Amino acid sequence: MDGNLRYLVLLLSLLNLNFSLAEAQKPIACKPSGHSLSDAPRTWIGSANPCQPSTLSFPVIDSGFTSITSISLRLDYNPNGMVYDTFSNLNSQLTGIIINDIHVSDSLNKIMFVWSDINPKTVPDGQPLLSLVFHYTGGATSLTWNNASNNGSDCEYGDANGDPLNDLPSISFYHNGYVQGGAVGAAGNITGSNEVTRGDANVRYTVPPIQNATTYIWTIPPGSEITAGAGTNEVYLHFTSTATSGYLQVHGVAGNCTGALSPPFFVNVLTAGIPVEDTYSLAVFPNPVSSMLRVSYYLPEDARVDLELFNTLGQPVTHSSCSYESGNHQQLLDTSGLDAGIYDLKVQFSFNGKNVVTLKKVVIIK
């Protein structure tokens, strides 16, 4: 082979090598292999703080729901205290959706959503897809989107081509809810002094702790004031110079939830250190009584006298009202139609410009 020919072969070899290197250095186009490069919609479920057993409805809301052809979602919850009932308010774009509530264990149920359509659908941001309806009986549970089960396929959106959209990290795409029961228990019996004198201070009253209560609301006799413990189950009262006899009651509160009132606790407020029984020669007999209760007293001046009998729930069951001139008097109260038990007799003397009230225990027998 002459020199010119050898040179030509060498040149062609170099050109071929450079072409091969150039081809190798070209960027290779990346194509999705079964997964879209776009993000999935963001999905929210509502929360609730129910005060009592009730029907709860939780909207499922998306943003970024654009050109979607399929949905697969899994929502986990604890069935102890709350059970799935049905769904409502289905968005018109999701006709044909299938929802099943599946029992997994004593503490776990899963709600599965399945929907698809060959025509891509779009739902405006913030518009609910549907609402899940539960029957709530008590307790607390989380409402958790499970994007970990079945390698993430239990929570998945499909794009216009049917390819799964990216939904990782899960915390960015699935926003969980909760149910935190706030039912407040009924208040128990108040304990403390049932007879005080105007001017008394630091008089303590308590009630047993109320279930789920975060604050306590007290109703106190007129002219008294709470000096310590407001909002708690233990308060201290000051009975001012204008304080009058009345009832103490309390109930618990947690958020918007309110518990039942305690039984009324009567406090007799004296204007001096002399008991009403001595001042007005008050006597109640017979006690126990079966049919007719007699109440005798002395009036230092003209007055109206009201007798009122209350049951253990603090409900008035019978009463008598009479007006007398000063002197000794006896007033009758018919108890023949009342059940046997322990009652509170409220005796109120209404003089010109002042009221004096006292409370006596009465036992009715049959």
Higher pLDDT: 24 or 358? It is 358
pLDDT for the residue 361 = 92
Is there a contact between 91 and 127 (Cβ–Cβ < 8 Å)? yes
Amino acid at 160: A
Is there a contact between 156 and 99 (Cβ–Cβ < 8 Å)? no
List Cα–Cα distances, 326 to 27, 297, 300, 351, in angstroms: 114, 10, 5, 10
Q: Is residue 123 classed as helix, strand or coil in its secondary structure?
A: coil
pLDDT over 90 (residue 353): no
pLDDT over 80 (residue 46): yes
Q: Is residue 231 classed as helix, strand or coil in its secondary structure?
A: strand
Alpha carbons 139 and 118: distance in angstroms, whole number: 42
List Cα–Cα distances, 111 to 38, 84, 90, 133, in angstroms: 26, 8, 16, 12
Copy the structure tokens of residue 237. 């009262």
User: What average pLDDT score do residues 332-354 get?
Assistant: 89
Q: pLDDT by residue (tens digit) across 264-292?
A: 999 988 876 566 667 788 999 999 999 99
Q: pLDDT by residue (tens digit) across 218-261?
A: 999 999 999 999 999 999 999 988 888 889 999 999 877 888 99
pLDDT for the residue 363 = 95
What is the DSSP-derived secondary structure letter of residue 326?
S
Q: Model pTM?
A: 0.54
- Sign of torsion over alpha carbons 298, 301, 302, 306: negative
Which of 297, 282, 292 has its CA nearest to residue 360?
282
- All domains of the chain, ordered by start, with CATH? 42-180 (2.60.40.680), 184-273 (2.60.40.10), 274-366 (2.60.40.2550)
pLDDT for the residue 21 = 35
Q: What is the mean pLDDT of the chain?
A: 87
User: What average pLDDT score do residues 306-318 get?
Assistant: 91
Q: Tell how far CA 269 is from the center of its chain.
A: 37
pLDDT for the residue 254 = 84
Give the chain's radius of gyration (CA, Å).
39
Alpha carbons 128 and 46: distance in angstroms, whole number: 11
